[in-house]
Structure 1
C-alpha cells in the first residue's frame, strides 16, 4: 500500500517546481539606484520652481546634450530668478536672441559633477570652467555659531546664493543646485555698462572724467554704477555732465565708483565684517580712494549692505558723508572677464562736495 503522506509531499514538490519553471527572469525586478532619479530635462519639467529653466533648455535645443551620460553640474535659476529679469512665461524665451540664450544657459552648467562638499569651506574664488568655456567662481561659508548649534552652510556661485533646500540634488547624469538669480556675463565691464540704457549717464560721466578707456584694460575692477535716475535726482542732466572738466574736481568725485579689486557681494558674507565697531566703522569692505586717500569707499555691515563714502579723518566714523542703496538683486554681481558691475541708486559724491576750491 502506498504511503498517502509521501504522495502529498511529492505532489507539493512537483507543484512548487512547476511554479518556478513557469516564472521567467524578466519578471524579476532588481533595484537600481538610477531608476529612482531623473535627468535634468525630466526633473525640471516636473519641478514647479524650475519650469522656466526647463522651457529655456528646450527652446535652445539642449535636450540631447543634457540627457547624455555627462556628468554635469547644473546651477538652475528658479522661476522667481527669471521673473527678476522680466521673464514671466515660457513663451518669453522665443523672443530672445537664441545664441545669447544658449550661451547664458551653458554658463550655468559645468561638464563635471560638483557637490557642495567638493568646494573647500570658508573660501571664495574657487574657479570652475563651464560649458560656455568660461570660468565661474564658487564660495563656501561653513561655520557653527555655538556649541549646541547646527552647522550653517552658505554656498555661492558668482554672487548668487545656492538655495539651502536645493543643493546636491542627484540626477541620473550629474547633480543639481538651485540658485536665486540668473547668472550674467559680458566680455568687459564696458560691455555691461553699454548694454543698459539706465547707465548711459554714468558712461558719459566716466568718459568726461577720462576713466572710460581704463575699463577696457584687464583690471580687475568692481564697479558700483549709479543709474540715470541717480543723476536726475540731483538735477544733473546729460548736457551738464558733458560740460564738466575733470581737473576741477577731486579724484573721489569719480574714483569712489571704481574699486581696483575683484569681489562679489557674497564674498563679504563668507569672510564677515572687518574688525572695529559701528555700522560704518566695521564694514564688510573698506578701501582708500586712489588719489584721495583721506576718503574711503565701503560696504556697510548689515543688510541692506549700503555702499558709502567716508572721510577717514573724522574721529567718529559712524556717519558716512553719503551712502546709496543697491539696485535689485538682478542688477548685482554682473560678471565680466575684467571685473564685476553692481547697480546703485544714488550718487556717492555730489559735484559741490568734490569741486576744488
Structure 2
C-alpha cells in the first residue's frame, strides 16, 4: 500500500550520538553558529528520528558540507504522525527511497523566513530534483515581523519562534510539522500502486476520467478510500454497471477537479483566505465549490482539517456529506506530490452519485 511506501521512505536504524543532546535553540541574531546542519540535527532531542534517517541514508556528512543549504527538518512528532515512533520501526527500509525523500526536504541556498516572497507557491528545486512549494501568508504567529509570517512548505506547517531561522555555519534549518510526501510517478502510478484506492480507480475508468490522469497536468485529485465506496454499498461490480451517460459529469469529475490544471495543497485555501478572504477563494467547479480547510494551533498542538463541498447556493450536506476529512489524518492522507500533480486521500465521497442522475 502507498502508506507503507511512505513510511519506508523514513525508516532507518536509530542512531544516538554519544554527545549531550540539546533543545532546539536559535541565536539572538542571524549570525551563523559554528556548527553545521548535520551536527545540529545530530545533537537535538527533538530531531533524533531525523538524525537516524540521515545516518541510515548516508546524508549526515552531506549536510556538514559547505553548502549553503536550507533544510526543512521534520521533528520527532512529524515522524510519529506517519507511524514512525521507535527504533523498531527502522528495521526494514529501502535506502534509495529514504535518501530521495530526505533530499526532498531541502535545497541549495540560505533562505530565512523573511527571504521568501509573500505569495502562494514560491518554487525551489530540492536537492533530490523535484520542486518544493513555499507559501507565505501576511498572517503572523507570535510576532509582528516578516520572519513571523505563517509559512507552509508542500502543505507542511513551519513552526514559529525558535524552530525557524536556525542559523548554522552552512545554512539554515526550519522545523516542519510533517515530512514532505513525494512519489516518483504520475497520478495514475500513485493510484494503481495503492490497493486501498482500487474502487476509485474503477470509477475513474468507468466514467472515462482515467486516461487523462497520465497527461502533463498538473492535476489535483481527491481520491476516496475504498471504505468510502463500501459505505454506500458501491463495489467494483456495481460501479461497472453504472451508465456514465445517466449521471451529471460532476458526479465523478469532481474528484479530479474536471481535470483542469490545478496544483492545490491541503493548506492553500487557508493561506489564500487569510490574505484575501471570501467565497472567491473556493475551488470552483460546475454547480459546486470545494473548500479544503486546515489549521494548526501551535500553542495547543492541535490540528484541524476538513473538506467542505457546497452547491451554488452555498449549501452543503445535500448532494454529499457535510464534511470530508483526509484519511488517517493530514500527514498520511494529504499532499502526496507526484510528477504531474497532487493526490489527497479522503475518507468519504465528495458527492452522492444518486443525487446527480440526469
Q: Whole-Å Cα distance in 1 between the matches of residues 121 and 70 of structure 2?
A: 18
Q: Whole-Å Cα distance in 2 between the matches of residues 245 and 223 of structure 1?
A: 22
Q: Whole-Å Cα distance in 2 between the matches of residues 341 and 333 of structure 1?
A: 6
Q: Whole-Å Cα distance in 2 between the matches of residues 51 and 144 of structure 1?
A: 29
TM-score by length of 1: 0.79
Pick from 50, 54, 58 the counterpart of residue 57 of structure 1: 54
Per the alignment, residue 222 of structure 2 pairs with 224
Structure with larger Rg: 1
Pick from 191, 201, 205 the counterpart of residue 203 of structure 2: 205
Query: In the alignment, is residue 285 of structure 1 matched against residue 282 of structure 2?
Result: yes
Per the alignment, residue 289 of structure 2 pairs with 297
Pick from 151, 154, 157 the counterpart of residue 153 of structure 2: 157
Query: In the alignment, is residue 310 of structure 1 matched against residue 302 of structure 2?
Result: no
1:299 shift after superposition: 0.6
Deviations for 1:324-346, whole angstroms, at most 9, x for unmatched residues? 32211111111122111112211
TM-score by length of 2: 0.79
- Runs (4+) of structure 1 exceeding 6 A deviation are none
Pick from 115, 120, 125 the counterpart of residue 121 of structure 2: 125
1:113 shift after superposition: 1.2
1:284 shift after superposition: 4.3
Stretch deviating more after TM superposition (44-53 or 101-110): 44-53
1:40 shift after superposition: 2.4
Does structure 1 retain, via aligned residues, the 8 Å contact 2:269–2:291? no
Question: What residue ranges of structure 1 are gaps of 5+ in the alignment?
Answer: 1-32, 277-281
Per the alignment, residue 191 of structure 1 pairs with 189
Does structure 2 retain, via aligned residues, the 8 Å contact 1:37–1:170? no
Distance 1:302 1:156, change over 3 A: closer
Secondary structure at 1:340's aligned position in 2?
strand
Per the alignment, residue 13 of structure 2 pairs with none
Deviations for 1:123-163, whole angstroms, at most 9, x for unmatched residues? 01211111112211111112479xxx835510111111111
Q: Whole-Å Cα distance in 1 between the matches of residues 46 and 232 of structure 2?
A: 41
1:320 shift after superposition: 4.3
1:275 shift after superposition: 5.7
Query: In the alignment, is residue 262 of structure 1 matched against residue 256 of structure 2?
Result: no
Query: In the alignment, is residue 140 of structure 1 matched against residue 121 of structure 2?
Result: no
Per the alignment, residue 107 of structure 1 pairs with 104
Pick from 81, 85, 93 the counterpart of residue 84 of structure 1: 81
The count of aligned residue pairs is: 306
In the TM superposition, 1:60-75 aligns within 5 A as 60-75=57-72
Distance 1:338 1:163, change over 3 A: same
1:39 shift after superposition: 1.9
Q: Whole-Å Cα distance in 2 between the matches of residues 248 and 207 of structure 1?
A: 16
Question: What residue ranges of structure 2 are gaps of 5+ in the alignment?
Answer: 1-30, 296-303
Query: In the alignment, is residue 250 of structure 1 matched against residue 245 of structure 2?
Result: no
Distance 1:221 1:163, change over 3 A: same
Q: Whole-Å Cα distance in 2 between the matches of residues 269 and 351 of structure 1?
A: 28
Does structure 1 retain, via aligned residues, the 8 Å contact 2:270–2:294? no
Distance 1:188 1:112, change over 3 A: same
1:241 shift after superposition: 1.8
Q: Whole-Å Cα distance in 1 between the matches of residues 157 and 316 of structure 2?
A: 30
Q: Whole-Å Cα distance in 1 between the matches of residues 249 and 309 of structure 2?
A: 13
Q: Whole-Å Cα distance in 1 between the matches of residues 39 and 315 of structure 2?
A: 53
